[in-house]
Structure 1
Amino acid sequence: MSYAINGSSSVDKTFTEEELNRIETYFGVNTKPDKPYKQLSYLEALGEEGSTMEELVKLLKQEAAKYGADAIIEITRMSEAREVGTAVITEGNYVYDAMLLTGIAIKYEETAKKLGGN
């Protein structure tokens, strides 16, 4: 599951691997490019049981691509407890730690100007 906070993009498009691979990733707190940029949106990608880091990075990139982002900065890994089972508590329900990635989609100012942005 992947979603954006602070105004989810309404763009519903499938992006090619090539388009997604153009989006740069910066892992860790306070990791940013040296060139000027504008923040577009805060992003989160929450994994299912057994999800890999690679899968969640791809989800972040897919969401960032909807905004026309050049990069995702300050990608941080956390975990969130999730419960598997039915809505009614029965035997067989269990809790697991789901991987959660957060980041900020950005657009380089030089790119925005080329596209006619401010």
Structure 2
Amino acid sequence: MTAEELFLSEVAKIHRYWVKTATQVLTDESTDLFAFENEDGIRKLQMAIKSANCQSEVQSFIDQISAGIMHSILAGLDGSGSLKEISGVNLVDAKGGPLKAYLHELWSHHYANQTSST
């Protein structure tokens, strides 16, 4: 596996963890919400989601939104937007070799593969 693939695999693990966590928080009424500031608001959302029977739609929405956030972060690291003027962040592997400068484009492919295999 290339350094880019390893990096994106770790990003994908983070993505899957937060999709699972956010989905659980919004769809499982037994979830402990001690880490959240707006417990009452979350409980209202849980009730509305349960009432509408749209748990899978919630998971799909969270998945798509968080994948977009990951893409945007990677694009920022690659030097898009305002960072382009000052150059992107250069990520290197353990040997000091640079990772490809278009990780956000690789993420789109990696994300598509991860969602088709689940």
Classify the TM-score, shorter chain.
under 0.3
TM value normalised by structure 2 = 0.25
- Larger RCO of the pair (alpha carbons < 8 Å, separation 6+): 1
Task: Return the index of the structure with the highest Cα Rg.
Answer: 2
The alignment's TM-score, normalised by the length of structure 1, stands at 0.25
* More helix by percentage: 2
